[in-house]
Amino acid sequence: MSDVNDYHEPVLGEEAVRLLAPSGAGLYLDGTVGGGGHTRLILEACPACRVVAVDRDPEALDHARAALADLADRVRFVHARFDRAPSDAELIERGLDGALLDLGVSSRQIDAALRGFTFRRGVALDMRMDPAEEGDAKSFLAEASAERLTEVFRDFGEEPRARRLAREVVKRIDRIGRAA
């Protein structure tokens, strides 16, 4: 793992925390803790607050644990998808005073060739936030029909030319061989 200070500095972190307005002995959710930047800002803005720090990427959680070691008594780390956080027992019992979600893929994930988010040639497509989860992108593309790809591009990517893009992807995969 690299230096805990070299992860990612939230671009609008101070603005996000100002809008979140943590106060009192509040309990807050950082639904995508990443490198821990937002959690640190929340806890520095509110000395009595606690944060439940969630991420589905175990590497990000490890980094956040190290980066927030000095605040560890006020942070609970949870390895999960942010949409599963509402089923956390403490959150059900106590409720939240606020939540922050900084959604997307981090530059760390894109830069790490083994993660398979990169656009570099010769790197297998993986694209799993949690490498322990089943189903990498390469396998999905090898099996997906043009219709399924159209749905994915349209519904998740909001791509206006989803059908055309899907046909082109299938054509290129068929050209190189789906088993390759």
How much is the pLDDT for 3?
Answer: 46
Does position 1 have pLDDT exceeding 50, yes or no? no
**Same domain flag for 26 and 75:** yes
109 located within any domain: no
Domain count, the chain: 2
Of 9-13, 26-30, 40-44, least confident by mean pLDDT is 9-13
In angstroms, rounded to a whole number, what is the distance separating the alpha carbons of residues 28 and 62? 20
**Same domain flag for 17 and 68:** yes
CA dihedral of residues 149, 134, 34, 124 (deg, nearest 10): -70
Percentage helix, strand, coil for the chain under 3-state DSSP, each rounded to 5: 50, 10, 40
In angstroms, rounded to a whole number, what is the distance separating the alpha carbons of residues 87 and 124? 34
Q: Is the separation of the CB atoms in 53 and 41 below 8 Å?
A: no
Please give the mean pLDDT across all residues of the chain. Answer: 87
pLDDT average, residue stretch 112-132: 74
Of 100, 135, 160, the residue that ends a domain is 100
